[in-house]
Structure 1
Amino acid sequence: MQTVKFNELPVSDYILQAVEEMGWENASPIQSQAIPAVLNGRDVIGQAQTGTGKTAAFGIPAIESVDVDHKATQVLILCPTRELALQVKEQMYLLSKYKKGLLVTCIYGGESYERQFRDLKRGAHIVVGTPGRIMDHLDRKTLQLSDLKMMVLDEADEMLNMGFREDIETILSQAPEERQTVLFSATMSKEILSITKRFQNDPHIIKVTREEVTNDNIEQLVFNVRRDAKTEAMCRLIDVHNLKLILVFCNTKSKVDEVAMELQARGHAAEGLHGDLRQGARTQVMNKFRNGNCNILVATDVAARGIDVNDVDAVFNYDVPMDLENYVHRIGRTGRAGKKGMAFTLAPNRDNGKLRDLERYTKVKIEQGKIPTLDDLKEVKRKQFKEKVISHISDQNIDEFADIINEMIDEGHDPDHILTALVKMQIGSLEIGSNFEDDLSDKRKARGERRSEGRRGSRNEQGDDRRGGRRNNKGQGSGEAGMVRLFINLGKKDHVSPNHIVGAIAAESKIPGRVIGQIDMYDKFSFVEVPERDVNRVLSGMKGKTINAREAAIEVAK
C-alpha cells in the first residue's frame, strides 16, 4: 500500500502540530484508511492487531468531532483492561494537546470514585473506560450519553473474551441511535459480527492483513533450550545484545512471578505484571517500566494488553503462546516507528510442533538462534569497556586526573601495573561462570542431591529455592525505613511458619521478637525483615542453627 503522510489527510492544523511533536510523519495503513472514513461520519469496522496505530486511527477523528464549547460527553471509548484504557487516554492527551479546552478522562475499576465524579461533572468531552465501571456510572446517573456523537469499541474481541458482551450491548442500547459507532478488533468472530449487525449502520470495513502486520524490522529467532535453562539463556542474550528495555511473556501468572524473581536474583531491574496484582501495584509497575526504573517487564498476555511503550528493544517469549494469534500481539510491541526490534522465543524440543504451527500461521520462517557462549560474553564485556574508555579519552576534563597517575609513578609503581589494576577495578573478573552444558549438569546434580538429602535446605539449594516459590503481593517487602530484608532457604513446604522464624531468630540472636518486621512465606524459601542494627547479630546467631528442626541458611536478600 502507498505510504500516506499525515499532512495529506483531511485533519486540522492542531492535529498536525501534535503528531509532528510526537515524531510521526507517515500514517500507518490502518490510520490512512480509517481516519478519512471516520471523519466522513461512517460507521467503521477495523480489523487490526496491536501495534498498528489503531488508537490514532479512531482518536484523531474523535478529537476532531468534539465541540469544546459544549460541556458534555461526546465520545465514549470502551477498552477491555485498565492498562489499555490508561494507554488510550495518554495518547488522546498527546493528540489533543493543541485543541484548547478539550477535556479527556479515564474511568475504570480499582480507583476511587471522587476524581471520576469530578471529571464527569466538569463535562469531560471524551471518556475512556472499562465496561464494568462505565456501567456503574450509568447506573448512578453520573455519566450521561444523551449528547454522545461517537462510540468506540477498542479490542472488541478481548472484551468479549473477558465476558463483557452483556455490558457492551447495554451501553450501546443506552447511547443515541444517531451516534457513530467505530469498532476495532484483531479477529472477527460470530459474536463480533452479531454486535456489528445489530448496532452499526452499513459499516465501512478496513482490514490490515497479517502480511501488513508482520514487521520486517523485527528479527525473529528461536532458541532450543531446556526449561530449567531458559533464564540463563535469556540473561546471556540480554548481555550480548546490550538490551535496555525488554518485555518477557509467560503463559501463566505463577510463571510471571517465578521468572521476575529469577531475574531480580541475578541483579536485573525486573517486575511482574498479571491479573492477581491489585490496581495500585499494577499502576506502580507500569509507571516504573515507562519511566525506566524497571527495564524488564514480565507479563501475561491479558495483563500486557494495552502496553504501548516506545523503544522496546526486544520481546522474549519465555513460553510459546498457547494462542498463536498472541504471538503477533507480543512481537508487535518491538520494532516500531521504523526502528529495529528483536523477538526471541525460548522453546524446548518438545515445543517444535507449536513452532511449526507458528510459522504456518505467520507465514514467516523463524530462524534458529545460537545461545551465546561464555567466551561471547567475555568478548562483549571487553568491547564495552574499551568503548567506555575511548569515550572518556576525548573528554577534555581528564587532565586533572593525570596528576594522580604521575604521583603513583613517582612513588615507584609501574605504569602498566597501574593501568592493569584500574582495568580490573572497573571491569571486574572475566570469569563469568561455568559452561552452558555444565550449568545444566550442575542443576541436574543439585536436584539429585535434594532428592537424596530430603528437604534440609542447604546453601547449594538457594538458586533453585529462589525459582521455586510463588511471590505474593508483599513480595518486595514493606520498604520500612531502618529495616533490612533477609533471605531464608526454608519455606512452607519445609513445614516452617512465621512463628517458627520469629522464635528461632529471637532465641538464637538474643533480640526481642517484637522488633522483627514483615515475613513473606513462599513454598521453598522466605524473607524476613529485621532492624538494620541487628543484622549482624542475626546472621552470626543463626549460623549453623535450625528452624523447626531444619538446617537454616540466612543471608541479606539481594
Structure 2
Amino acid sequence: MKTFEELGIAEPVLRAIREMGYEAPMPVQEEVIPLLLGEHLDIIALAQTGTGKTAAYGLPILQKIDIARRQPQVLILCPTRELCLQIAGDLSDYSRYVDGLHVLPVYGGSSIESQIKTLRKGVHVVVATPGRLLDLLNRKTVDLGGVRDVVLDEADEMLDMGFTDSIDAILAEVPEDRHMLLFSATMPQEIARITRKYMKEPREVVIGRRNEGNQNIRHVYYMVHARDKYAALKRIADYYPGIYGIVFCRTRKETQEIADRLIQDGYNADSLHGELSQAQRDYVMQKFRLRNLNMLVATDVAARGLDVDDLTHVIHFGLPDDNESYNHRSGRTARAGKTGISISICHVREKGKIRLIEKAIGKKFERAQLPSGEAICEKQLFHYVDRLEKVKVDEAEIERLMPAVFRRLEWLEKEDIIKRLLSLEFNRMLDYYRDAEVIEDVDDARPERREKGDKKERTDRRAAKRESRGNDTGFRRLRLNFGKDDGLYPAQVIDLINRCVPGRKVEIGRIEIGRDSSYFEVERDAARRVADSMNSYEVDGRPISVSPMHDDADGDRGDRKPYRRKASAPRSYGGGKPWRRTPDRKRSRR
C-alpha cells in the first residue's frame, strides 16, 4: 500500500491531513488521486458512502488551484445542505496550511446576501446545492467562467431528488473544456445519461463491485406481524444499550409518530423530515451529532447526504421500494473502514424485497429472533456495570462529601447497596419486560394462518393486561374522541392534558393513538379530574369527550356515553393555534 506522499500530495496538505489522523490512503483515494494529479481526464468513481471520496478528489484538486486567481476554479455540487457543509469543512481542514485559499459553501436556508458578499471578495472553491447555485446564477452574482474542475458528489442522490434539470442548467454555464468528476454509490440510468452528455471518454474507477453494498455492514432482519413492529423496535433499541443510529421510515407522518412514541417511552430520540423548518433541522442534527440523541427517526429524503461519524446501527422500520435507497440508508453506518449493523424490521409481505436486495448488494441477510425480555435486561445490566467500573471519579470534589454519605449508608451491607443501586436503575425495565406481551415470530412458510391467529384470544389477553395495569400500577385508562384521522400524535395528547387540566401536573402513562379515537393512562387519583376538566373544552367547535374505559375499585364506573360527532362536524385537532376559555366554560380556537 502506498502512502499519501507517494501518491503525490504536497507538503502543506500532507501536514494538515496528518494532524487530522490520516495515516494510509483508502482504496478509492489510492486509485483516484494519481489520476487527478496526472493527465487531464474525466473520471467516474463508484464507491460506497463513507469510503473516503471527499479526500479522493479534494486533496489533489486543492493543490492544483492557482491562489493568485481569486475566482471560482472548482465547483462541487452535492444534494443537501448537510453534505455541502461537511464537504466545505473537510476542504477547509485539508487546506489550513495553504495560505490564501478560500472555500465557500453555498446552500439554501442561509443568508444569500452574505454568500454574495463573500463571492465578491473572491473564492477559489464553491461547494453548492443546485437550487441555491441556480438562484445566484439567475441574479448574475456568481461567475463560473473560470471553473476548471466540476465534481458531482453523491450524484445518484441528486438525481433521485429531482435535480436533473438544475444540473443541466448549471453545467451549461461552465466552460466546455472543464475537467469533470462524478462520484456515486450506484450507477442508475440518469447518471449514464449525464456521462454521455457531459463527459469525454471518462475513466471509470469501481471500488468493489458495481452497485455492491459496503462489505463491513452486517445485514439482519426480524420477521414480525405489522402490528408488532414498534414493540420490536423497542426491543432492538433496548438490546443494544450503546445504540447510536438512524431509524428510517417511509413517510413523514410515520416518522413523526414513531419519534413521538419513542420520546413518550423515555428514549433519547427525535424526528427529521421535510415538514421541519431549516432551523428545526439544524437543532435536531446538532443534538444528534453531540450524541444528546441516541436515535434519529428520519425519512429517506431528510437523511440524504447526512454525514455523522460512528453510527452503530441503521434500522429500517419499513423497507424502501428500491434497492438503491436501501444501499444509501445502510451506508450511513460502517464508514471509514468501521463496522456497522443494518437491521430491517419486516412483516411477511416484505420477504420478497429482502431477496431482491440480497441479490443487488451481493450479501445475504441474517434471519434473527427478537431477544427475550430476560436477555435484554441482562444485556442492559452488564452494560451498566461496565459503565460503573469505568466511570471517572473526581477524587478532590467527591472526597468532602463521602463522610456524610458513609454515615447515611453505614447500616447497609455492601450487597444491599449494590442491589439498591441496580434496582434504582433497572426496576422500570424489569417491570416492563416481566409483563410485556410475547412478540410472535412470523412463520415464513405459513403467513396466512399465523397472521389471522385467534383474534378473540389476543383481544381478551390485551384487555386483561390493560385491566391489570389499571388496577395494579395506580393508572387508569381513558378514551379520547380524537385520533390519527384528526392529525393527533402522542405529544399532542400530552399537550391537551396540560392545557385543559388545572392544578398540579398529572402523571401520564401509556398512550395509544387509534384511527378515530385514542386511549391514554393517567394516575388513578386524577382520572376523574382529568376527564371532567377535558370534557369542558372544545376544539374547532367540536367538544372534547374523555371517558373511563373500565370499572374502578372506588366505584367510579366508566359507563359515560362517548361523544359522537355529527356528520357535518369538522375533523381537525386544531393545529396548535391559540386557545381561550369561552363564557360557557368551553375552550375553542381563536
Partner secondary structure for residue 281 of structure 1:
helix
Contact kept in structure 1, 2:211 and 2:361, CA below 8 Å: no
Which runs of 5 or more structure 2 residues have no equivalent in the other structure? 441-454, 464-474, 505-512, 519-525, 538-542, 549-590
CA spacing shift, 1:143–1:221, aligned 2, 3 Å: same
Match of 2:336 in 1: 337
Matched, 1:29 2:43: no
Partner secondary structure for residue 235 of structure 1:
helix
Displacement of 1:522 in angstroms is 11
Alignment of 1:171-182 (within 5 A): 171-182=170-181
Partner secondary structure for residue 174 of structure 1:
coil
Match of 1:275 in 2: 274
For 2:168 and 2:351, locate their aligned partners in 1 and report how far apart those are by CA, in whole Å: 42
For 1:391 and 1:179, locate their aligned partners in 2 and report how far apart those are by CA, in whole Å: 55
Partner secondary structure for residue 184 of structure 1:
strand
Match of 2:87 in 1: 88
Alignment of 1:10-159 (within 5 A): 10-40=8-38, 41-159=40-158
Alignment of 1:273-422 (within 5 A): 273-391=272-390, 403-404=403-404, 407=407, 417=416, 420-422=419-421
For 2:61 and 2:67, locate their aligned partners in 1 and report how far apart those are by CA, in whole Å: 12
TM-superposition CA deviations, 1:293-314 (whole Å, max 9, x none): 2221111222212112111011
Displacement of 1:447 in angstroms is 12
The 10-residue stretch of structure 1 (41-50 or 400-409) with the greater mean CA deviation from structure 2: 400-409
Contact kept in structure 1, 2:478 and 2:546, CA below 8 Å: no
For 1:328 and 1:126, locate their aligned partners in 2 and report how far apart those are by CA, in whole Å: 30
Match of 2:540 in 1: none
CA spacing shift, 1:312–1:525, aligned 2, 3 Å: farther
Q: 1:550 aligns with which of 545, 550, 559?
A: 545
For 1:283 and 1:328, locate their aligned partners in 2 and report how far apart those are by CA, in whole Å: 25
For 1:471 and 1:335, locate their aligned partners in 2 and report how far apart those are by CA, in whole Å: 37
Displacement of 1:137 in angstroms is 0.9
Displacement of 1:103 in angstroms is 1.2
CA spacing shift, 1:365–1:415, aligned 2, 3 Å: closer
TM-score w.r.t. the length of structure 2 is 0.74
Amino acid at match of 2:11: D
CA spacing shift, 1:403–1:525, aligned 2, 3 Å: farther
Partner secondary structure for residue 428 of structure 1:
helix
Match of 2:572 in 1: none
Match of 1:452 in 2: none
Displacement of 1:210 in angstroms is 3.4
Partner secondary structure for residue 432 of structure 2:
coil
TM-score w.r.t. the length of structure 1 is 0.78
Amino acid at match of 1:407: R
Amino acid at match of 1:194: R
Amino acid at match of 1:317: H
Displacement of 1:157 in angstroms is 2.8
Contact kept in structure 1, 2:212 and 2:360, CA below 8 Å: no
Displacement of 1:201 in angstroms is 2.6
For 2:461 and 2:274, locate their aligned partners in 1 and report how far apart those are by CA, in whole Å: 32
Contact kept in structure 1, 2:247 and 2:298, CA below 8 Å: yes
Match of 1:257 in 2: 256
TM-superposition CA deviations, 1:368-406 (whole Å, max 9, x none): 112111111221233234334444699867776664565
Partner secondary structure for residue 76 of structure 1:
strand
For 1:355 and 1:282, locate their aligned partners in 2 and report how far apart those are by CA, in whole Å: 31
Partner secondary structure for residue 267 of structure 1:
coil
TM-superposition CA deviations, 1:265-295 (whole Å, max 9, x none): 1112212222232222222222221122222
Contact kept in structure 2, 1:106 and 1:127, CA below 8 Å: yes
Match of 1:8 in 2: 6
CA spacing shift, 1:251–1:26, aligned 2, 3 Å: farther
TM-superposition CA deviations, 1:168-205 (whole Å, max 9, x none): 22222221222211122334344433332332233222
Displacement of 1:436 in angstroms is 5.2
Contact kept in structure 2, 1:470 and 1:522, CA below 8 Å: no
CA spacing shift, 1:113–1:416, aligned 2, 3 Å: closer
For 2:129 and 2:391, locate their aligned partners in 1 and report how far apart those are by CA, in whole Å: 51
Match of 2:555 in 1: none
For 1:214 and 1:139, locate their aligned partners in 2 and report how far apart those are by CA, in whole Å: 39
For 2:480 and 2:31, locate their aligned partners in 1 and report how far apart those are by CA, in whole Å: 53
Match of 1:432 in 2: 432
Amino acid at match of 1:240: Y
Contact kept in structure 2, 1:231 and 1:263, CA below 8 Å: no
For 1:283 and 1:443, locate their aligned partners in 2 and report how far apart those are by CA, in whole Å: 47
For 1:163 and 1:379, locate their aligned partners in 2 and report how far apart those are by CA, in whole Å: 48
For 1:471 and 1:68, locate their aligned partners in 2 and report how far apart those are by CA, in whole Å: 57
TM-superposition CA deviations, 1:238-291 (whole Å, max 9, x none): 222223411111122222112111211111221222223222222222222112
Displacement of 1:211 in angstroms is 7.4
TM-superposition CA deviations, 1:332-389 (whole Å, max 9, x none): 2212233331111111122111111122222211111121111112212332343344
For 2:205 and 2:480, locate their aligned partners in 1 and report how far apart those are by CA, in whole Å: 51
CA spacing shift, 1:380–1:66, aligned 2, 3 Å: same
TM-superposition CA deviations, 1:208-263 (whole Å, max 9, x none): 23379544432221111222322322222222222341111112222211211121
Partner secondary structure for residue 58 of structure 2:
helix
Identity of aligned residues (%): 35
Displacement of 1:539 in angstroms is 8.9
The 10-residue stretch of structure 1 (301-310 or 93-102) with the greater mean CA deviation from structure 2: 93-102
TM-superposition CA deviations, 1:35-88 (whole Å, max 9, x none): 221222321122233222222222222212222222211111111222322222
Match of 2:470 in 1: none
Amino acid at match of 1:174: E
Contact kept in structure 1, 2:43 and 2:182, CA below 8 Å: yes
The 10-residue stretch of structure 1 (361-370 or 386-395) with the greater mean CA deviation from structure 2: 386-395
Partner secondary structure for residue 268 of structure 1:
coil
Partner secondary structure for residue 210 of structure 1:
coil
Amino acid at match of 1:128: V
For 1:393 and 1:179, locate their aligned partners in 2 and report how far apart those are by CA, in whole Å: 56
TM-align CA RMSD: 3.8
For 1:71 and 1:227, locate their aligned partners in 2 and report how far apart those are by CA, in whole Å: 58
Contact kept in structure 1, 2:481 and 2:544, CA below 8 Å: no
CA spacing shift, 1:161–1:217, aligned 2, 3 Å: closer
For 2:363 and 2:461, locate their aligned partners in 1 and report how far apart those are by CA, in whole Å: 39
TM-superposition CA deviations, 1:506-543 (whole Å, max 9, x none): xx8599xxxxxxxxx998689xxxxxxxxxxx998544
Amino acid at match of 1:31: Q
Partner secondary structure for residue 432 of structure 1:
helix
Match of 2:459 in 1: 445
For 1:278 and 1:114, locate their aligned partners in 2 and report how far apart those are by CA, in whole Å: 20
For 1:436 and 1:49, locate their aligned partners in 2 and report how far apart those are by CA, in whole Å: 40
CA spacing shift, 1:97–1:552, aligned 2, 3 Å: farther
Partner secondary structure for residue 376 of structure 2:
helix
Match of 2:183 in 1: 184
